[in-house]
Amino acid sequence: MKVCGITTVEDARAAEEAGADAIGVVVFSDSPRSVSPEQAEAIIASVGPSVTTVAVTHTESEEDLERILALKPDAVQVSADLKVSESAGVSVWRMLAPGDPLRDDCDAVVVDGSRGSGTRYDASYARHCVEASCVPVILAGGLTPENVGEAIKRIRPRAVDVASGVEIAPGRKDHERIRAFVRVCREME
């Protein structure tokens, strides 16, 4: 599971200590969770090698993408149709919203019409993606410690992704809610 929208080193470490598989750092986006490249670099460097670091962006700029790749995340999660060279050495995760066609030009798809707003995922679209995708599907959108277990049972994604569902305010994580989210996900394994 990924805890996304990490804005501080402290929150990254809390997600790691709770047992999150990945953290997401938003850059070059109009999200309230977007951080500067310098902040992203510090957050990415703050976690150990067992945590996958994901740079999440909504940019359409190739120049921004180059700056993101310079941060050396393990993966980039993009909503735009940016091309990421295999030589970049990162996994590519593509965001899909209900109605989008499946993608196979990536290492995983993140089914997320919410884009960090907390809007609940579209269950029928998510199930379709899980059933038809040739790459792993990560479910996002409105997940919380209270509903993630049921979402995992119903949709059967490869992984889940949470941002607003473990926050006090946009970009400010509640460490107890992170622990609770991870605990429920682990119980579902």
Residue numbers annotated as active site: 4, 112
Question: What sections of the chain are H helices per DSSP?
Answer: 9-18, 37-45, 62-69, 123-132, 148-155, 175-187
Per the document, the length of the chain is 189
Beta bridge partners of 25: 55
CA proximity to 45, closest of 9, 1, 75: 9
Question: What sections of 55-171 are H helices per DSSP?
Answer: 62-69, 123-132, 148-155
Q: Which two tokens stand for residue 38?
A: 């310098």
CA proximity to 16, closest of 45, 57, 55, 56: 45
CB 123 within 8 A of CB 143: no
CA distance 18 to 6: 14
Q: Please, is 37 exposed, middle or buried when counting C-beta atoms within 10 Å of its C-beta (0-12, 13-18, 19+)?
A: middle
